[in-house]
Amino acid sequence: MRTVIIDCDPGTDDAIALFLALGSPELDVVLVTAVGGNVGLDHTVRNARALVGLSGKDVPVVAGADRPMLGSFVAEPRVHGRNGVGGVVLPEGPPAAPGVAADAIRAVLRAAGPGEITLVGIGPATNLGLALASEPALLDRVAEIVLMTGAWAEGNVTPAAEFNAWNDPEALSIVLSCGRPVTVATLEVTAQAVATTAWIAAQRGQGGACMAAACDILASVPPSARLGGRGSPQHDACAIMWLVAPDMFTHRAVHASVDLTHGPGRGRTVIDRWGKVPGARNASVLETVDAERFFALLGERIAGLP
Ligand code: RIB
Ligand code: CA
């Protein structure tokens, strides 16, 4: 059983990832924090509250950063719709807990023992970067940091950069260099976890309100042209599934950094899989996932929610 904090920007794939986490007995989700990303913080907080509320789990949701550490905020409504969950209207969830995300994350870390907390970042890393940079003494409480971010090769928001990394590269750089174990789910592994219309159709009628919401949200996402229109990649659920069923994945120790320049390469993750960069391997990158097992377990866990 892992004690987990999830920082997210729901977001259609965040919604599926949250349901997977909240429906998996391997994880004890003690805090959900929201960050501006796919859509503005007002929407991501509302969506996080609604998704946790639908799950029936008593997990506090705390609002965090509404913009990156540097630069201006940019959303991605083309994929996630103006409300962040494809226009699907979710029942209002419980109110957000007071305070701000970085403080809430630090409070959980302060109350934990060494290596007790796993941090999961499935949006821009602003909240995680703020929390870790402002109280480094708490780093030893972190067992592992799992991020959906980056790409070895082409990005999805610019030719060079993946959306989360591009949105706050400075925050990502802080997290990548914090010294704790970091596992990264990049676009290359998430491209292997594509939700098809056939799979979505097969889920309908399973489970309860969470599965119904998940299917409606997934059905709202345009098939990814980047992936040949096969369906929608479940980026964020890959980060969660690594914690739930790590044997579904292969992975490799790498050196990972992020381009902080202000040119066309900004936000590019430079992932060295072949030891070309001298020095420590500061991360592990997920390389492959067993898609059949992934979607079988994903469906089972969401169907198990209310
Ligand atoms: O590039 C994919 C990532 O950006 C996912 O986390 C998605 O939710 C968006 O935040
Ligand atoms: Ca996300």
DSSP classification of residue 26: T
Mean pLDDT of 197-224: 97
Band of pLDDT at residue 77, cut at 50, 70 and 90: confident
> In the CATH hierarchy, which fold is given to the domain comprising 2-303?
Inosine-uridine Nucleoside N-ribohydrolase; Chain A (3.90.245)
pLDDT of residue 274: 94
In this prediction, residue 85 carries a pLDDT of 97
Answer yes or no: are the C-beta atoms of 86 and 221 closer than 8 Å: yes
Task: pLDDT band for 75, please (50, 70, 90 cuts).
Answer: confident
> How buried is residue 303: exposed, middle or buried, by Cβ count under 10 Å (0-12/13-18/19+)?
middle
Q: How confident is the model at residue 76 (pLDDT cuts 50, 70, 90)?
A: confident
pTM to 2 decimal places: 0.98
What is the per-residue pLDDT for 255?
A: 97
Strands 194-195 and 27-34: unpaired
Query: Model confidence over 14-56: pLDDT tens digits?
Result: 999 999 999 999 999 999 999 999 999 999 999 999 999 999 9
80 part of the active site: no
Which protein residues are within 6 Å of ligand 1, measured from CB? Answer: 9, 11, 13-14, 37-38, 122-123, 148, 156, 162-164, 235-236
CA-156 nearest atom, ligand 1: 1
Pocket test for ligand 1, best of 16, 41, 51, 163 (most atoms within 8 A of CB): 163
Q: Find the 74 Cα to ligand 1 centroid distance in Å.
A: 13
User: Is pLDDT at 303 greater than 90 in this prediction?
Assistant: yes
Least confident piece of the model among 62-71, 77-86, 124-133, 180-189: 77-86
Strands annotated E in the chain: 2-8, 27-34, 61-63, 117-121, 142-148, 182-185, 194-195, 232-233, 249-258, 269-272, 283-289
Choice among 43, 80, 235, 255 that is catalytic: 235
pLDDT digits (tens, 9 = 90+) for 216-252: 999 999 999 999 999 999 999 999 999 999 999 999 9
177 DSSP assignment: T
Render pLDDT for 258-296 as a digit per residue (tens, 0 to 9). 999 999 999 999 999 999 988 889 999 999 999 999 999
- The pLDDT of residue 216 is 98
pLDDT tens across 145-188, in order?
Answer: 999 999 999 999 999 999 999 999 999 999 999 999 999 999 99
> Is the model's pLDDT at 103 over the cut of 90?
yes
Q: Is the pLDDT of residue 201 over 90?
A: yes
pLDDT grade for 298, boundaries at 50, 70 and 90? very high
